[in-house]
Amino acid sequence: MRRWLYRLHLWLVLLLLIAACTQVGESGGNQTLSLRTLTGNAAVFGTIELAIDTTITVANPYDPNQIDLMVSFISATGQIYRVPAFWYQDFDQLSLQPKGNPEWRVRFTPSEPGAWQVKAELAKPALSSDVITIEVSANKQSPGFVRINTSNPRYFARQDGTFFMPIGLNLGWSTQQGTGILREYEHWFDQLSKNGGNIARIWMASWSFGIEWQDTGLGDYSKRMQQAWMLDQIFKLAEQRNITIMLTLINHGAFSTSTDSEWASNPYNAANGGPIAEPRLFATDIQSREVFKHRVRYIAARWAHSPSLFAWEWWNEANWTPINDALMQPWISEMTRHLAQFDPYQHLVSTSYASNTSTSMWVQPEINFTQHHDYTGRDLGQAFPLVIRELNAAAPQKPALVSELGYAGTGRDEVINRDVWQFHQGLWAAPFSGFAGSGMYWWWDTLVDPDNLWSEYSKLAEFFKDQDLTIYNPVVAQISPLKARALALQTKSQALVWVRSNEYEPEALTKAYEEALKKREFNDTWEYVPPTYADLTLKLNGLEAGNYQATWYDPQTGTWSQPTTVTLEANQSSIAVPSFNYDLALKLVKQ
């Protein structure tokens, strides 16, 4: 009996010691947590980056169930922002080898000047750092994050209210290796920026900047920290050049069994140890959703801070996957709510489909703008007004973007290069049809860059410079005789017009090519030049009577004509179109 009582006494003492140790651990005990500033002078809309030093270690720092580390930023006016920390590994700029030990980091972009109080907080064990103060200066140089335009929700604006028209293209990934990837993006961004462009669409694909794939397994991104570091550098390059990024989080192939399929290598696949046997279950399986939420949190923690982040795009062309809208809609609602917890900057959110303008997805409140992809090779001057009408009917108070475009989805047209013509059409037809930005071409590394088409962006940017498109309504204008097509953006006293020859579109080029083959005139130097039109009249309805300043612009050369004065009659305005072969644009302003 005494031996039994003695053992019981020892067990009670041991339990008391364990309880005491647990209480010490939960209140911090000898564990430490401290903040270390990594950036210099802080300014409004400039990134503050801090390291977080702690003695606490866990098996998987990417799992918030193991360690939930948040940082509070409190402004001088009392606004509180809580952002998640993320596990970071630095890399050498030249060798791309890991540099130093991994550590916790946090990034934050303040929206107001003054003294900001910063404190790191660990959920379990309960632990807080000392509060540090960071002085943030005013900054009139940065316009802030991209928002929906409050003057007209079919367009975008910067946080300071400045009108924002996306002009750019897809720069989905680089086929270079190592630091060659950064050099190529730097080249692309340089060309885009100096030619007036301001947006690029980039994929977090398995072969580019994806952080979770077969080589990592689910929920542990340590083997992909180099990709994450590379994406850091891409954002820095973009920020330095005032370029925004639409970041595509999931490409269709990852969950498709038919189109560009990567399902066999997907870590969510049960064949690779994942939780689901077929891609469709990704939207409904509880474990899949929870693991993906960890990835969403990490992505937001690492990149949400950047004003160069134009938008989060959940899926590229989701209709190539077996996840239909009935499954996708609740998934996007759930994931967007989860994302919002870790994105205090309220970045825009969207998703995309392959040539599918009619979808109930667009009415979801979580989707901030609609998208259209087009590889039909059709006359965009005719097609885009119909597409935007359909998108606006589905979501009348949202902007729309042509976020992918090509003459065909199979690759560049090498014979007569109809892609070059379609590239130009997409740039101009999109904004004149009522889309919120330029058409964003797809073939960046096989057409735009090798053919040095970058100056096409400068010509579009020059025409729309200092224009606030929120005041205009898109209309299809009249041209007689019917040798051209005219699209206009119009108010009662102003108009912007694009006039394009009917012979300047891919089908006309195809017919000319076929005719040249019949006549045996086709050779390596063959080129089709549309006929000159000098007898066209532009008719605009709805303008007030009076004198107007008319200034014509050549989109082929980027040159303006001398302004002239034209007198217009009420509601029926006829303007002579100057001689041209390809296309012209017009600015018309009442004097």
Angle at the Cα of 219 (from 218 to 225), degrees rounded to 5?
A: 105
DSSP at 320: G
**Residue indicated by tokens 């009108």:** 163
For 51-76, letters b (16+ CB in 10 Å) and e give ebebebeeeebbbbeebebbbbbbbe
CATH for the 169-467 domain, from 3.20.20.80, 3.10.20.90, 3.40.47.40, 3.40.50.300? 3.20.20.80
Residue pLDDT tens, the chain, 591 long: 444 443 434 343 333 333 333 333 334 458 999 999 999 899 999 999 999 999 999 999 999 999 999 999 999 999 999 999 999 999 999 999 999 999 999 999 999 999 999 999 999 999 999 999 999 999 988 999 999 999 999 999 999 999 999 999 999 999 999 999 999 999 999 999 999 999 999 999 999 999 999 999 999 999 999 999 999 999 999 999 999 999 999 999 999 999 999 999 999 999 999 999 999 999 999 999 999 999 999 999 999 999 999 999 999 999 999 999 999 999 999 999 999 999 999 999 999 999 767 688 999 999 999 999 999 999 999 999 999 999 999 999 999 999 999 998 888 887 898 999 999 999 999 999 999 999 999 999 999 999 999 999 999 999 999 999 999 999 999 999 999 999 999 999 999 999 999 999 999 999 999 999 999 999 999 999 999 999 999 999 999 999 999 999 999 999 999 999 999 988 778 999 999 999 999 999 999
- Helix/strand/coil for 573: strand
Per CATH, the homologous superfamily of domain 33-137 is Immunoglobulins (2.60.40.10)
> What are the tokens at 415?
């014979």
Domains 33-137 and 477-590 alike in fold: yes
Whether this prediction's pTM lies above 0.75 is answered by yes
> What are the tokens at 297?
């949190």
Instruction: Say whether the peptide bond before residue 481 is cis (omega within 30 degrees of 0).
Output: yes
Tell me, what amino acid is at 146? V
| Rounded Cα–Cα distance for residues 135 and 429 (Å) | 47
Alpha helices in 469-551 (DSSP H): 506-518
CA–centroid distance for 379 within its chain: 26
> What are the tokens at 132?
């540090």
| Rounded Cα–Cα distance for residues 242 and 537 (Å) | 40
Instruction: Say whether the peptide bond before residue 98 is cis (omega within 30 degrees of 0).
Output: no
Element (H, E) at 546: strand 546-554
Q: Which of 103, 246, 168 shows the shortest CA–CA distance to 448?
A: 168
| Rounded Cα–Cα distance for residues 187 and 183 (Å) | 6
> Domain map of the chain by residue range?
33-137, 169-467, 477-590
Alpha helices in 60-100 (DSSP H): none
Q: Does domain 477-590 have CATH number 1.10.3470?
A: no
> What are the tokens at 333?
């609602």
Query: From the CB of residue 478, how many other CB atoms can be counted at a distance below 10 Å?
Result: 14
| Rounded Cα–Cα distance for residues 77 and 241 (Å) | 31
| Rounded Cα–Cα distance for residues 341 and 249 (Å) | 17
DSSP at 128: E
> What are the tokens at 449?
């860059």
| Rounded Cα–Cα distance for residues 399 and 152 (Å) | 9
